[in-house]
Structures are given as C-alpha cells and as structure tokens.
Structure 1
Amino acid sequence: MGADRVGGGRRKRARAGVSVACGAVLLAGCASMPDSGDLRGVDSTPRQDAQVRVWALPPREDADAREIVDGFLEALTSDDPEFETAHKYLTKEASQAWRPNASLTVLADGPERSQGRPSDPDDSSDSVSFSLVGQKVATVNAQQAYAPAAGEYTNTLHLVREKKSGQWRIDRPPPGVVMGKSDFLRNYTSVNKYYFASNSSTGTGGLPVAVADPVFVRKKVDPMTQTVSLLLAGPTRWLNPVVRSSFPTGTELKKGVGSLAPDDQNKLTVPLNVNADRVNGEKCREMAAQLLFTLRDLTPTGVEEVELQGANGAQLCPPLDESGADFVVAHAPSKDEYQYFIDGKHRLVRLASGSSGKEFTPVPGALGDGDKQLRSAAVSRDERKAAGVTSDGSTLYVGSLVSGTSLGEPVLHSAGKTQNDRLTTPSWDGGGDLWVADRDPARPRLLLLKEGAGEPIEVDTTGLDGRIDAVRTAADGVRIALIVEKDGKQSLYVGRIERGDEASGEKAVAVVEPRVVTPQLEEVTAMSWAGDSRLVVVGREHGGVQQMAYVQVDGSTPVGSAPAALTGVKALASSEDEQLPLVAYSEEDGIVRLTSGAKWQQVVKDGTAPVYPG
C-alpha cells in the first residue's frame, strides 16, 4: 500500500489454536465449527480474506508449560488489537511490564522453542525455561520503522506455576513481539506517511515538497487509525532531520475518537485535539495534504477528501481533495514527456513516453548534435537541460535542450586513468542541482553542482566505506541512492541528504546515515527510483543469477510481481509515474522497455544508457 502500492503476503503455515471471526454482512456465512475433538496443527492455511480476522485462543485450564509457550507465540500473530490474548499467558506483573508495541523481530521461519530444565515441565517444579531461536530477517521499532537484520535470534522464556491458581504462566517474556516472516507478511503492510522536505529547495511555485516515510501497520487492526496516529506522532528517527510536519507539536486525535473511516463519498473527517486549534489556513491545508497523500491508497476505494476538525468540532479549514492538493504541495510526479538514451552515434536522443512506437530523435541543442560523443546523460526534471558524460568518462558537460544553443565549456573533469575510474552517470535532484561521482582511485568523491554549474561542491560521505559506482537522487531532494563497491562487492545504499551552514564550519552538503537496503545481494549492477519510497534494482545473490526486483528504501521487499526477467542488464530507468514503462539496456538486445502487463520489447539494438528525467 502507500504511494508505491505494495500489498499483503501469504501465510505459509498455521499453528493450532486460532479462531476466525466472520462478519455476517461481509461474508455469506461462517462454516460450522465442531463442538468436540482435539485441536491439531495443519500444514497450511489458505490465504485469509481481507475482512477475516484471526484470533488466538486463551490458555486452557491446567495447560502444561509447553502449551503456554506455544499459545503465547500463536497469540503474537493474531489480530486482537492490543495483544489482549497474549497478555493472558503472562503473570500479572509480567503483563503490566510487557510492551508488545516497543519492538518486533522478524525471523526467517518463526521462533523454534527448545525446553530447558527441568526436563519434564509436568513435574513438581514450580519454574521452567524455554529457549527461542531463529534467524533474524528484520526488526520493526516502536515507530513502526522497518530495518533489515541478520544473525541468530536467541531469547529465553521463563515460566512459573502460580501458587494461588496452580496454572503455568510466563513471568519473563521476550521483549516486544517475535514472529516468522510469513506471519509478518500476513499481519503487516507497508504505508507511506508524508512530510515536507526542510533542507532542500521548494518545488514548483515555491510549494513544499512531499517526502515519503514508510512504516508498517497491522493490516486488520484498524490500519487507518493506526496510520493517522503514526503520522501525527511525527517522522521516523532516520528521516526526521530533513523533514518537517505541519501538524503542531503534541497534535493527536481528539480524546474519545475510536475508529476512523471514510464516508460513502470517500471523505475522511479527522477530529484533532486542542493543539491544532490555532493553525492558520495555509498550515491547515498542508496538514490535510499530509493526511490525503498518506491515506489515499490505504483502502480499496481510497480516501479522496480530508476534513480536519478542532477540539470543539469546528472545521479548521475547507476540506481538501486531490485537485486542491496540487496547489498546496509539490507531490505529483513530473510529466516525463520523453524517455532518453544514448544512440549508436553517441548522441542523446529521446522518444515520447506515452507512445508505443520506436521512433526516436536527437534532443534539441548541442548534446543531440553528435559533436561530443557521450556514454551517459541525465535530463533535468523540467526537461529543459541535460548533462552528458563523454564516451571516455573524463568530462561532464551541461547544455540546454533548446535548438541552436551551444554547449560551452565542460563543468567537470576526472583524472582517473581508465574509463571505469572516471565519472558516473549524473543525476538531477528535485531542486535542479546536479550530482555525480568521480571514481578516480586517487581521489574518489561525490560532487554537487548547484543548478548544474559553478564550482563543484565535494559532498561529505564519511559514513560510506567504499567507492561510489552509481548515483540516483530522489525527486524530494533529501534522499539519495548509491551503489558502493568494496572488496569486489557492490551494495545499494540509501542515504539522507543534509545541507549545513558553511559559515558555521559545517559541511555544505553531506550524505548521512547511509543504510544498505539490499543486504541479500552481493552484486548490484543497476538501480533507479521507481516511486516515492521504492527502487528497482538489478543484482545477484551469492552463487545466484542476475535478477531484477523492487525494493523499499527501508530495505523491505514490496509484495507483488517483480519485473519480467531480462538477461545482461547493464542499466535501467524507471519513472516516478508508475504508468510509464520500465526502460533498460541489455547487452543482448540494446534498449528495451516493459509496459504493465506486457513483455519486454526492443526499441533499438544500437543504444545504451537509458534515463528518465532526474
């Protein structure tokens, strides 16, 4: 879900002890349940209907310690809102101290339990321990932010036999929640919250630029209200330094508000507490835009209009819909009227994005004339100018995409001794600045040219260990994707762009807290932004073959189809408009493109380096 439209997952197996609540209105009826017989585990369970909620059973009378552990682990994967059933497996003191929403650990195959001492939990001992083990895949923190993880998970569950009741209960549960990957995909879905860039140029017309902040929410536990609460609580820690929210500090849902839901016209009314009562009209519209972008893909029909109410129930500003949001926030993807690539004559050429034809023409201006032979290029997001790297990789030019204009002097040189040790393909950010990496081993660096001109600014990349082989900036201007090579391994990182104050001694621009988003790949050869919080990548796992896949900026994998396989991919380009085709360069087939629901089609055999604006 969210702007990149990722969906849910399939549960691989079921454990004993679940009951299903059926809605009489949503379902034709519920199958009758047997009133006798034992509960047994089954090998698999069909994917649950979106409106069916799974509930765990509470502990039965005189259950032994093993049953208590299994029941507790099952309850962690159920749909009861506050993990009420899981709390019933704990002692009173443990239940009061346990914070299930503080953290979530995702394991490859779910936690495996092994019994500690005593060897027989049914003997006269009043305590017993069980070890939980598994291989970590990811963690989700209290802000619901996802992060890939690796290594072994080990924890201990300690149980006691309560003196008064004689029942086994857990007095030392694991911190937070732990579950297998299949259960995680069944229970949680990714949603993009939206904030505004605070450290980059504003968008078209001086409007604030929207930035996606992905989080995971529980699919069947009122995801809309969860998402609104997370949005009001503010951005995740990683993104917080470079974005702002228009909601005043301390803004929450009005006390007593239960479940939020749009009406039959897909309008959502959001009552807020007193902290939001004094916002002006502009701020209120920005607040409504944040909600609208965040929630519009959360339900099958979407939220099409948002109204904000103050603590007294009064309307804070007129309701906002999609058409009105265009005048509030710079969020809609660029037009991307053309797809671009380098043709057999080493010129920058283009073809119409909306056309299924294969006719391409040189771009207007000097970069399309062929006087300077190019090996790669980048086109500004307004499609008014372009940057081109010469065929030997040593020189960068910037020129206007207007007929009859001259190219002028180069804006950058690399002193690298070989073509592979010189300039990468450049990239334009949403504010009109140009980024490029120089791979010269004697002086590897990431450079920024303001509006594509002037003295290059060396970007601080202290957090990166390795040489940058590819650069792609996001349209929001606050995130950057980098392929970094070290010891023969190429990894994909996403970093936060911070712009400091040179006068105070701070670095003018820095890439901060870069994080690996494809830890399973040891050779990433190409990548491109493919949405507000999604990239498309070409890479290879250890001992595997080349593959193409989508990945979220937090390192999670969107549920859905990966692009159709294509051999020998060396470069690819994707538009932020998901309706436009994916374009790639294959050593075997040249320039090819993939439209939704179709197969790869060749555009031209003799062409390389495809790009969309950006």
Structure 2
Amino acid sequence: MVASREGTRRRSGAIALICAAGLLAACSEVPTSGPVVAGNPVRAQDPLPYVAFGAAEPRAGADPAAIVDGFIDAMSAYQPGYEIAKLFLTPEAQATWNPSAGIMVHRGARPSIEVFDETLAQLTMTVIGEVREDGSFIAVNPDGPNKIDLPMEQVDGEWRIAEPPQGTIISEDNFAREYESHNLCFYNLDGEMFVYDPVYVPKSGQTATLLTQMLLAGPSEWLDPAVRTAFPEATTLSVASVPIDSGTATVDLSDAAAENTDAAQRSRMAVQLGCTLSGLPEVSRVAMNTDGIALLGQDESTIDAVVLERHDPNLLGAGGALYAIREGSLVRGDGDAPQPVQGALGVAEDLTEVAVDAGGGRAVVVAGFGTELQTAAVDSDSRRTILEGAGFTSPSWARNNVIWAVGQADSGGRLVAMTPEGAEIEVRAADLDQRDVQRVDVSPDGTRMALVVDGIAYLALVVVDGEARDHVSVERLRRIGPDSDALDVAWSGSERVALLVGDEEADPEVLVVDTFGAVQASRGTVVGAVFVAAGADQRLVVATEDGMLVEHESRTRWIELGEGGAPAYP
C-alpha cells in the first residue's frame, strides 16, 4: 500500500541534506561518486560539460555602483557557494546571506543602479518570476518596476554591500541558460495516476542526484496536499550521489526504504523513481538498493526509466474525438467536420455545453437551455437528469468520476460537484466565497483545476476529503497568464493550460500557459472566439460567438471545421 505523508515535514530535512532544496545554490560541490556496491558494479556519474563562470573579484577602490554591479555579475551564473559574490558583501552580510533562499528572475539584461550619498544603492528591475527553495517557479505579472535598497558600508576603506536580499538575482536570459525544468513524479491521492511536479535545477549540477534528492524530500509546498509518495517518510540517499553506468542509475537508499515496506510498495517506489529520471537521456534503467541489496529482488533488480502508461495522465483521452454542440444537439468529429452522435443526445434540441469522460463513452451535458445537468452514454437512447437549477455552464468530468459545473447563485457563479448518479458532493472553497466563478476545467490527473473567476485565470488544488468522500476542497488559488480578461480555460495535457483571453480593444487570443502560470506560446487571435477546447496531443479548437468551430493548424494559423459551439475533448 502506498504510504501517505506531508511533503513539507520531509522538505526541511532534505534542504539540510542537499543544502538548498532544488537548487543547491549555497552548497559546496556535490560529490560525483559513491561507494561501489557488491553485486551492482557502478562508476561515478560523468558530469555534464560545464564552463566555469569567470566572475571578477571586487577591484580596489571601486565605488558603490561598481560594487553593486560586480555583485549582480557574480550572480549571473550558477556557482556552488557563490564565493565570488560574497566578496562584495561585508563580513557580517557574508555570514547571513543565503543564496539558496530562492531566485529572483528579472526582465532585461541587468537592473539599473542608482547610488544615494554613497551609503545607499538602489536596484530597479521588473521581476517576472521567482524560484522558491523547493525548486518551483512562480510567475509574476509585473505591475511596475521593483526597487531594492542596498545599504553600503566601508570595510578597510573599501565599499561593500551591508544588507543584500536573500537569494540570488538573475536575468531571464541567464536563467534560461543556467537552469532547466524537470518533473518530479508523485501519485494522486488515489495512488493511481502520476502528478508531475516541475522544478528547476542548475544545468551544471549532477541532475540525477539532485532530482532523486528532491523526490525523496517531497512535493513542492503548493502541490503537497493533493499528492502522495510511495517512499517512507525518513527515506534519504545513503550515499552522496546517484551514479550512472551504461544507462543504469543506481539509487542507494537509507534503511527506511526497506523497513515495513512490502514488494508492492517497493515496486511503486521504483516506478516513481523511473518516472522522475525518465527525462534524462543518459538514464534508461534504474536500480534501487539498500545496503547493497536490491530492493526489487535479485531476479529483476532494475526497472525501465519510463513513465508507465497506466500512470500517465496524458494518455487519458489522448487521440479522442472532438465533441461540440450544434443547434442544441451533440456532434462528434475525428479529423473531419463533426456529425450528430447516435441516440438521444444526437437528436436533442436543448443542449448548450458538454463534457466527456476520459474513455469517451459517457457525457454530461447542460440541457434545458441551461437549467439541467444530464448524463448519458454518448450513443444511448436515454439521458438522466442529475441536477436542476439555473444558469449551468462549463461542465467538466474529472477522472475520479466527479462531475463539476458552474451554477448561478445570488453572488454569481459557484462551483457544484456531484457523482454521475446525481449525488451532490459538498464543495469547500473559501477562496471563492462571494466571487463569480465563470469557467472550470479539471486536469487529467484530477488534482488541479483551471478556473476563470471574476475574469481572471487561476489554478487551484482539488483535494477529495473525508472517509466517505462526501466533500471536496478547492484551495490554494494561484493566478496564471497575463492581465488580459480571461474568457475560457482548458487543459492541454497535464502540464499546460490553453487560455482564451481578450478585451474590448483586441480580438480574443489563445495562449498556452504552463502550470507555473507563465505564457509559453501564443497561438494567435480568432475573431469572436468564446470557447476553447484542448487535450494531450490534440489540436486546439475554439468556438466563435456566431457558431463556428475553428481549429488551430500551425503557429498562428486557424482553419474552419464547420458549424458548432462549446467544443470539448474527452
């Protein structure tokens, strides 16, 4: 059975172990070799090619502006310990400055520097994101320049920074050059599906070692309540590194990994490791040991470093047909113009929106021109009303068989949830009280929700609570995308969200946003677009206010599919 625990309890211990969760920014060099284990010969992992950054030390007699400029230069590339950067600080500041406290990423080549009366320097820059200690990235929508005061003092006649901000400061171009994103793999609360937790690590680090340490330390703070791990709480690496030999990464774990764990749990631990290391081209298999003994058994001591299909949320509904509403009935298309489905939904006249389960066989529709939620097998001759009310919109069929929608209340749109049989599920969402929920879509792994609330796009966690699973929490809202008014959201696989934005002065635009909230790409504008549909390995489709389905073909080019509205993929 999978062991559940709170990642935040483990995280503090992991930070002490690896010096800074996710980034190792204040560590000495991570050792690149460990003891040779009998029966499992390994060698040290070959480090990635790395050109040392030649940061210059402070010049004698440099004025405060030059000292601050040199400090910024010394942080512009990842350095273990940031020893050169510390030379620009007073001795007291060197003792208290923690470069591993996070990374502030700013727009442009470098901040502007202004000095006031030599004793105070000020940085001005536009911050676009922050990397936290756990390696997670938070995109920031700048509402103006950020200013940071740097008090200056003289030490033996030389100017030094007395109070630097905790963490490091780096431009977006240098950040892209020095760091890369990888996924840590955790299980959803059912223990059935992977949930990917993206983190940033330095490109010059020992990536397999860093990712393994971060996986054992637990999920990012934001994601923690919605996921679980197979590893027992006290599990750590028992050696300093994860060596790789002929494509096999050997992970030596502490005794906690073997204590009170059966073969099934160990297998889930190994699968979690294999998923996490699957993104490294140098790793094809994973061995998992304790005290030199293979935890998976001598007959099959390694597993493939892959994302197993049965746990991959991106395969849910992948390649499924497009569904839409035309003249009140349900239509379906698979690479061609959608046609009415067989059965009751295909001859209906009162449907306005649809969502389809991952298998593509069942649908929930907004019927009665917005007054009912109904379920039916897609090609069935009957349909069943599961909820009556007013103004239902935006249905979503989650992978755990919870049906979501937006219903109208006195304060605006509110979330409703129920089973396919019509049993209502209590929704606890304090962050949404007295706010107008307009659109909702649940991620393929079932742990996160994309929403439009008061015209703003958000991500939130979905946590099913209670032994009877009779209530669900929607919590930890996190804003995504630009400041433009959000019109609709749809998950494009488990790691991206398609976001339709627009305002009165511009045509609606389709953006692809990552789970950090940063815009990854624009797919162009579509005149009159009001709905967007997306899926893993699916082309984006929008519906316009005049009842036309339009499909994304390439870059910013869109082509018409035919008449229809409210498109949806399984």
- The TM-score with structure 1 as length reference comes to 0.76
Flag the structure with higher strand content. Answer: 2
Alignment correspondent of 1:26: none
Q: Would the aligned equivalents of 2:111 and 2:125 in 1 still touch at CA under 8 Å?
A: yes
Matches within 5 A, 1:95-134: 95-109=94-108, 110-118=110-118, 128-134=119-125
1:406 and 2:385 aligned: no
Q: Is the 8 A contact 1:108 1:135 kept in 2?
A: yes
Q: Offset of 1:333 from its aligned partner?
A: 1.6
Cα distance change on mapping 1:407 and 1:302 into 2, 3 Å: farther
Query: Structure 2 matches for 1:267-282, cutoff 5 A?
Result: 267-278=248-259, 279-282=261-264
Give the counterpart letter for 2:558 in structure 1: W
Q: CA deviation at 1:51?
A: 6.1
Cα distance change, pair 246–607 in 1 and its aligned pair in 2 (3 A): same
Equivalent residue runs for 1:235-274 within 5 Å: 235-257=219-241, 260=242, 262-265=244-247, 267-274=248-255
Give 2:459's aligned residue.
494
Distance of 2:504 and 2:237 partners within structure 1: 48
In structure 1, the residue matched to 2:332 is 350
Q: List runs of 5+ in structure 1 lacking aligned partners.
A: 1-48, 119-127, 416-421
Name the aligned partner's letter for residue 551 of structure 1.
V
Q: Is the 8 A contact 1:395 1:423 kept in 2?
A: yes
Q: Does 1:283 align with 2:265?
A: yes
Choose from 272, 275, 282 the match for 1:293: 275
2:526 paired with 1:566: yes
Query: 2:344 & 2:50 partners in 1: Cα distance?
Result: 58
Closer, same or farther in 2 for the Cα pair 1:469/1:400, shift >3 Å?
same
Equivalent in the alignment of 2:544:
586
The answer to whether the Cα contact below 8 Å between 2:372 and 2:387 also exists between their aligned partners in 1 is: yes
Q: Does the aligned pair in 1 maintain the 2:411–2:436 contact within 8 Å?
A: no
**1:75-97 deviation line (CA, Å, top 9, x unaligned):** 11113233232123223432232
Residue 115 of structure 1: how far off its partner (Å): 0.9
Shift of 1:100: 0.6
> In the alignment, is residue 375 of structure 1 matched against residue 352 of structure 2?
yes
Match of 1:363 in 2: 341
Cα pair distance change 1:332/1:182, threshold 3 Å: closer
CA shift in 2, pair 1:92/1:590, >3 Å: same
| Structure 2, unpaired ranges of 5+ | 1-47
Q: Give 1:473-484 correspondences, 5 Å limit.
A: 473-484=442-453
Structure 1 residues 320, 510: CA separation in 2 closer, same or farther (over 3 Å shift)?
A: same
Cα deviation for residue 135 of structure 1 reads 3.2
In structure 2, the CA distance between the partners of 1:158 and 1:444, relative to structure 1 (3 Å rule), is: closer
Question: For residue 390 of structure 1, what is the aligned residue in structure 2?
Answer: 367
CA distance in 2, matches of 1:546, 1:324: 36
CA distance 1:189–1:547, change in 2 (3 Å) = farther
Output the amino acid matched with 1:158. P
Amino acid paired to 1:455:
A
Quick one: which amino acid aligns to residue 375 of structure 1? T
> How far apart are residue 378 of structure 1 and its match?
0.7
Identity of aligned residues (%): 27
Tell me if structure 1 keeps the 8 A contact 2:313–2:444.
no
Distance in 2 of aligned mates of 1:287 and 1:508: 29
2:535 is aligned with 1:575: yes
Cα displacement (A) at 1:508: 1.7
Question: Where do 1:433-448 residues align within 5 Å?
Answer: 433-441=402-410, 444-448=413-417
Q: Is the 8 A contact 2:413 2:435 kept in 1?
A: no
Given residue 496 of structure 1, which amino acid in structure 2 is its aligned partner?
L
Shift of 1:541: 6.8
Residues 524 and 539 in structure 1, CA contact (< 8 A), matched pair in contact too: yes
| Corresponding residue for residue 66 of structure 1 | 65
Q: Decide whether the 8 Å contact of 1:106 with 1:181 is kept in 2.
A: yes
- Which residue identity is paired with 1:523? D
Aligned to 2:440: 471
Q: What is the alpha-carbon distance in structure 1 between the residues aligned to residue 323 and residue 192 of structure 2?
A: 31
What is the DSSP-based 3-state SS (H/G/I as helix, E as strand, rest coil) of the residue aligned with 1:67?
Answer: helix
Mapped partners of 1:454, 1:273: distance in 2: 48
Corresponding letter in the other structure for 2:64: A
Query: Aligned residue for 1:153?
Result: 146
Secondary structure, counterpart of 1:563 in structure 2: strand
What is the rounded CA distance, in whole Å, between the counterparts of 1:544 and 1:228 in structure 2? 46
Residue from 430, 449, 454 that aligns with 2:422: 454
How many residues are aligned here?
514
1:548 aligns with 2:510: yes
**Residues 85/191 of structure 1: CA separation in 2 closer, same or farther (3 Å cut):** same
Structure 1 match to 2:308? 325
Q: How far apart are 1:511 and its partner, in Å?
A: 0.8
Partner of 2:21: none
**Does structure 1 conserve the Cα–Cα contact (< 8 Å) formed by 2:451 and 2:458?**
yes
